[in-house]
A = this chain, B = another copy of it.
Amino acid sequence: MRTVLCDTLGIEHPIVGFTPSEHVAAAISRAGGLGVLGCVRFNDPEELDAVLDWMDTNCDGKPYGVDIVMPAKVPTEGTQIDLDSLIPQAHREFVDNTLRKLGVPPLPDDEASGAGVLGWLHSVARSHVDVAMKHPIALIANALGSPPADVIAQAHRGGVPVAALAGKAEHAVRHVDNGVDLVVAQGYEAGGHTGEIASMVLIPEIVAAVGDRVPVLAAGGIGSGRQIAAALALGAVGAWMGSYWLATKEYQELSSAGTLQQALVRATSSDTVRSRVYTGKPARLLKNQWTQAWAAVDAPAPLPMPLQNLLVSEAHQRMMRAGDPSVLAMPVGQIVGSMNEIRAVADVMTELVDDLEAALTRLDELRGL
C-alpha cells in the first residue's frame, strides 16, 4: 500500500512512528516507515546532535524525522531558577506528601535530580531545529501546532517539510495557512497532548478542511493495520503512531523501560486519563495512583506550562526509579489496551502491513469482489 505520503517522505509504508527513543526511531525507519525522534527531552542541544549523528549511521540510509514541541503562544522564558520561583510552595508540598503516601522513595544519594523538561521553551525548541537542520532529516513535526513563520522558512530553505498536529479543523486550516506541509489529525484517543474530538469525527473533518491542500495523517488510537485501513477510509493518507512503539524491544534501551512496559502491558483501554498534571496542558496519561491523587477534590490545580513539568520533574524521576508499575507518570493513548506483548519494531511493522492488507481484503469480500 503506497499513498502520496510515501512519495512525500520517501518511505515504503504510509506509517510514521513518533518515539522518544533513537533506537525505536531508527528501527521504524529501517522497517520502511518514518521514524520521528522526539526532541523535547534534550535540554542540551549537543546531546541531541550526538544522537542525530547516531541516527545518521543507524537508519541504513532510510529517511527519519524529528519532533519538536513549540507552543503557539510563547511561554515564559528564563533560566530554570527564575521559573522555579514561580512555583507555589503548596504545590511542592502536595507533590512531596503524595509521593510519601504512595511509598515512592527519594532519589539515591548518587543520583542528581534532573533539570526537568525545558524543550517546550521556544529558545530550547529553536536549538533543536538548528541542530536537526544540520542532519539529513526528512521531516520536522511540531506537537503543538504551527511553529513560528521563521522556523517554517528555515526548514523550507533546507528542503525539509514541516508537519503540525491538530486537534480541531480550524487549527489545521491555520497551520496550512501558516505554510505547514502536512497535518497530523490527532484524536482524543491519543497519548500525550490531545484535544476532545475523537478520531472518527476529527479525521474526516480535517481532511474536508485541508485535505485538498496538504496530506493528512491520522493519529490517535492506532495500533493495527485495520485501524490504518479505517484512517485511509476516512480520507487520511497515512497513520501517525506514538504509544504503540513503547511496547517494543528497542524501547528497552531506555533505562527503566522495564517498569514502564510492565505497566503498559497490564493496562486496558480504560486505564488512561486526559489530565493537565504532566505538562500543564491536557495530555492523556496512564491512569494510576499518581494521576488519581491529582484528581482528588483537595488536590491543587495543575500549574501552567512550563511550570507544571518543572514541579513534577523530580517526582517523575523518583517514580520511574522506584520501579512500581502502579505509580508512574507516562503519556500513553487508549491503544494501550492492545499493547499486550513486547516485540521487535520490525515485527510490529510487518504485522501492521499484513493486517492492513487483510482489512482491505475483508472489505473486498463484503463487496463480493
Asked if A1 meets B367 with Cβ closer than 8 Å, knowing A200-B221, A220-B200, the reply is: yes
**Cβ of A205 to closest chain B Cβ, rounded Å:** 6
Within 8 A of B (CB), among A89-130: none
- Is there an interface contact between B3 and A366, defined as CB atoms closer than 8 Å? yes
| A188 closest partner in B (C-beta) | B198
Contact partner, A335, options B201, B221, B222, Cβ 8 Å:
B201
**Distance of A139 Cα from B310 Cα, bound (Å):** 56
CB distance from A249 to the nearest CB of B (A): 24
A335-369: CB near B (< 8 Å → 1, else 0) gives 10110000000000000000000011011001110
State A337–B195 Cα separation when bound (angstroms). Answer: 15
Residues of chain B with a CB closer than 8 A to A224's CB? 204
Q: How far is the CB of A190 from chain B (nearest CB, A)?
A: 9
Which residues in chain A, 159-198, are within 8 Å of chain B measured between CB atoms? 168-169, 187-189, 196-198
A149 CB, min distance to chain B CBs, angstroms? 26
Instruction: Point out the residues of chain B lying under 8 angstroms from A189, CB to CB.
Output: 197-198, 200-201
Q: Is the CB of B222 within 8 A of A229?
A: no
Contact among B168, B187, B233, B362 with A359 in the assembled complex (CB-CB below 8 Å): B233
A357 to chain B, nearest CB (A): 9
Task: Confirm or deny: A8 has a beta carbon within 8 angstroms of a beta carbon on chain B.
Answer: no
B363 touches A205 (CB 8 A): no
Assess the A197–B270 pair: CB atoms within 8 A.
yes
- Residues from 1 to 27 in A contacting B, C-beta threshold 8 Å: 1-3
A222 to B: closest C-beta gap in Å: 7
Known A-B contacts A197-B270, A199-B200, A366-B3; A226 and B235 likewise in contact (beta carbons under 8 Å): yes
Which residues of the other chain, B, contact A362 by a CB distance below 8 angstroms?
A: 232-233, 235
- Cα A231 to Cα B229 in complex, Å, equals 10
Instruction: Give how many A residues have a beta carbon under 8 Å from the other chain's beta carbons.
Output: 44
Q: Which residue of B lies closest to A366 (CB)?
A: B3
A337 contact set on B, CB distance < 8 A: 169, 201, 205
Q: Does A234 contact B (CB under 8 A)?
A: yes
Q: Which residues 323-344 of A sit at the B interface, judged by CB distance below 8 A? A: 333-335, 337-338
A287 shortest CB reach to chain B, Å: 10
- A363, B230: Cβ atoms closer than 8 Å: no
A289 interface hit (Cβ, 8 Å) = no
Contact A198 B200 (CB under 8 A): yes
Q: How far is the CB of A245 from chain B (nearest CB, A)?
A: 16
**Contact residues in B for A232 (Cβ distance below 8 Å):** 233, 362-363, 366
Q: List 22 A-B contacts (CB under 8 A).
A: A1-B366, A1-B367, A2-B366, A168-B270, A187-B198, A188-B198, A197-B334, A198-B220, A199-B200, A200-B200, A201-B269, A201-B334, A202-B269, A204-B226, A204-B227, A204-B338, A226-B234, A227-B233, A227-B234, A230-B233, A232-B363, A232-B366
* 9 further interface pairs, Cβ-Cβ under 8 Å (given A229-B363, A232-B363): A187-B198, A198-B199, A198-B200, A199-B200, A201-B337, A202-B269, A232-B233, A233-B233, A235-B359
> 5 closest pairs, A vs B, by CB?
A200-B221, A198-B198, A230-B230, A229-B233, A199-B200
